[in-house]
Homo-oligomer: A and B are copies of this chain.
Amino acid sequence: MADIPVDLARHPIGVVVRRTGLKPDLIRAWERRYAAVEPSRSPTGRRLYSDLDIERLVLLRQAVQAGRGISHAAALDKEQLRTLIREDRPTPGPARLLPADPWNGQVTAEAVLASCLSAVERLDGIELELQLERAAVALSQIHMIERVLVPMMHSIGDLWQQGTLRPAHEHLASAVVRSFLGEMRSAHQPPSQAPHLIVTTPARQHHELGALIAAATAATEGWSIVYLGPDLPPEDIAAAAHQRGAKAVALSITFPPDDSRLADDLRRLRRMLDPRIQVVVGGRSARHYEAALKEIGAHPVADLAEFRRALAKLRVPSSA
């Protein structure tokens, strides 16, 4: 693996916004008021953030979400932030010991990805799980998802098409990633009056990875998740939303580029749902259904950052 030292890679603020889910104004305010991060500058004064800066911002965001004041959090270093966040999780979870790390000290998403792929090739699910768990200690959840899990599943898909890997490899990786994401989600215990979010895939959509990612992400944002797995007809989605008094429904659409029954299902869902319940739709194939989505007033989201922004908007009933 090529070594681009993490602390040298420079990103403009736009990238940081996408990777952290924070608004640009807020990032600058944090810098101005509390020196929360101190990015270097381009010759013309543009802020240039390192990967470490971004990581730090993610940690700060988590700390704030856990009820800390930013003024307090900004004074802490990376390790202190991490322990703080860990402590704020109400269920400390089984204090598992994680011994020796192979990529000593420096943990980059790329290195983790490589180890993981190698574990998959060897069909070593236990090793894969171990790598992921170790990496999760060092990498933010967003990094884990966007730079490790998603690229890994993509690579496996590619290698499968090339004939290098077999379905068995993909199955094994899916099983491990699924349970890993499940743990990620349930590690966050929602605040007591958190709004409920139904997460599922519409009928005939059997890939649940996107839904799991959405669930884990929304959990970090403080939502209370009702995860219903894949392949659910609209009647059931609506019924579940009403029973739990959900604030919103998140759907992941990954498979067929075109399916008129799916568009029908979406319309049907909208009709059966309380108008106050919002619908958010993401996933690889979501854009193929733009028309139907617009028709039912659903929020289409193209990536995780957008999903997080949509969630933030939904919490405050101020969106149109």
Contacts and interface: CB of A to CB of B under 8 A. Distances in A.
Contacts of A122: 243
Interface string A123-134: 111100100000
Interface string A153-196: 00000000000001110011011001100110010011100000
Contacts of A189: 126
Contact of A126 (B186, B229, B235): B186
Given A167-B233, A168-B236, A171-B228, A68 B15 contact: yes
A90 B178 CA distance: 23
A30 interface: no
Contacts of A228: 168, 171-172, 175
| Copies of this chain assembled into the complex | 2
A67 B191 contact: no
Given A12-B69, A179-B182, A227 B98 contact: no
A229 B175 contact: yes
B12 A226 contact: no
Contacts of A236: 166-168, 171
A97 interface: yes
Interface residues of A, number: 65
Contacts of A66: 15, 18
A186 B80 CA distance: 29
B129 A79 contact: no
Given A88-B15, A90-B19, A166-B236, A224 B126 contact: yes
A168 B18 contact: no
A82 interface: yes
Interface in A215-235: 224-233, 235
A229 B80 contact: no
Contacts of A126: 186, 189-190, 224-225
A36 interface: no
Contacts of A174: 229
A14 interface: yes
A72 interface: yes
A167 B234 CA distance: 11
A3 B113 CA distance: 30
Interface of A: 1-2, 4, 9-12, 14-15, 17-19, 66-69, 72, 79-80, 82-84, 88, 90, 97-98, 122-126, 129, 166-168, 171-172, 174-175, 178-179, 182-183, 186, 189-191, 200, 224-233, 235-237, 239-240, 243-244
Among all A-B residue pairs, the 7 with the closest Cβ atoms: A179-B182, A168-B236, A14-B67, A171-B229, A175-B229, A168-B240, A2-B79
10 contacts: A10-B72, A12-B67, A124-B244, A126-B189, A168-B240, A171-B200, A171-B232, A172-B229, A175-B182, A178-B178
